[in-house]
């Protein structure tokens, strides 16, 4: 399982994710914003509360995405 070492909130509901192996990917979270509780994250002030936790990212409202999910949806940074 991948682990996350750092994240940066970008514009347009994207997050730059650096994994513990040094790989960095840009993850577009937009597709999740139409599903269930993730709709709350359309509020950019809430979206910006994302923080890295070893196995993923977590927002202040308790929602989270796993590092494996972020690895799958992310596009590598060149």
* pTM, two decimal places: 0.92
Question: Taking a C-beta distance cutoff of 8 angstroms, is the pair 9, 54 a contact?
Answer: no
Is 1 a residue whose pLDDT tops 90? no
List strand residue ranges (DSSP E) for 1-78, in order.
Answer: 4-9, 14-19, 24-28, 51-53, 56-58, 64-66, 75-76
CATH code, 52 = 3.30.2020.10
| pLDDT score of 54 | 81
DSSP 50-67: -EEETTEEE-TTS-EEEH
Q: What is the pLDDT of residue 58?
A: 98
**Token couple for 38:** 């993730």
pLDDT in tens, 13-53: 999 999 999 999 999 999 999 999 999 999 999 999 999 99
Instruction: Give me the mean pLDDT over the 56-71 stretch.
Output: 97
Domain that holds residue 72: 4-76
The tally of domains found in the chain comes to 1
């Amino acid at each position: 399982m991948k682990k996350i070492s750092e994240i940066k909130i970008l514009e347009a509901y994207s997050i730059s994710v650096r994994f513990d192996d040094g790989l960095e990917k840009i993850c577009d979270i937009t597709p999740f914003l139409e599903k269930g509780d993730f709709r709350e994250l359309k509020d950019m002030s809430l979206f910006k509360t994302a923080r890295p936790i070893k196995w993923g990212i977590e927002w202040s409202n308790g929602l989270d995405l796993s590092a494996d999910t972020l690895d799958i949806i992310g596009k590598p940074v060149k």
